[in-house]
Amino acid sequence: MGEEVEDLRSEGAVAAGGGVLDEERRLRRLRRMIDMSLALIAQTDLDLLQAQKLVQVVKDAAMELFPGKEATFELIYTPRFRRLLAEKYAMH
């Protein structure tokens, strides 16, 4: 996962035209969103549809922070969300 985050980090700075500090800020924000949404899904009584909508909102926000990095999001974060949804909602 470290290499993928590094890819997001280095390419995100170029895409945004910002400096390293801006890139680090955006990456921290993304990590917080991911962690909070995973915890919210795991620890609350959201139904499956609400959880899926939350995942989409997080993905949309990630694309705003890192334009053009959808494939990276799919590679790093989508499997984490899928595993949690499958575990919590007994999906196979």
Domain spans in the chain, listed from the N-terminal domain onward: 17-88
Q: Distance (Å, rounded) from C-alpha 62 to C-alpha 46?
A: 21
pLDDT at residue 46 in the model = 97
Residue for token pair 């800020």: 25
Greatest C-alpha distance within the chain: 43
Q: Distance (Å, rounded) from C-alpha 43 to C-alpha 39?
A: 6
Give the single-character DSSP code of 44.
S
Q: Distance (Å, rounded) from C-alpha 5 to C-alpha 76?
A: 8
pLDDT at residue 91 in the model = 75
Full pLDDT tens readout for the chain, 92 residues: 555 555 555 555 455 456 899 999 999 999 999 999 999 999 999 999 999 999 999 999 999 999 999 999 999 999 999 999 999 999 76
Cβ contact 38:2 at 8 Å? no
pLDDT at residue 3 in the model = 57
pLDDT at residue 74 in the model = 98
What's this model's pTM, rounded to 2 decimal places? Answer: 0.76
Rounded to 10°, the helix 48-65/20-43 angle is: 180
pLDDT at residue 88 in the model = 97
pLDDT at residue 70 in the model = 97
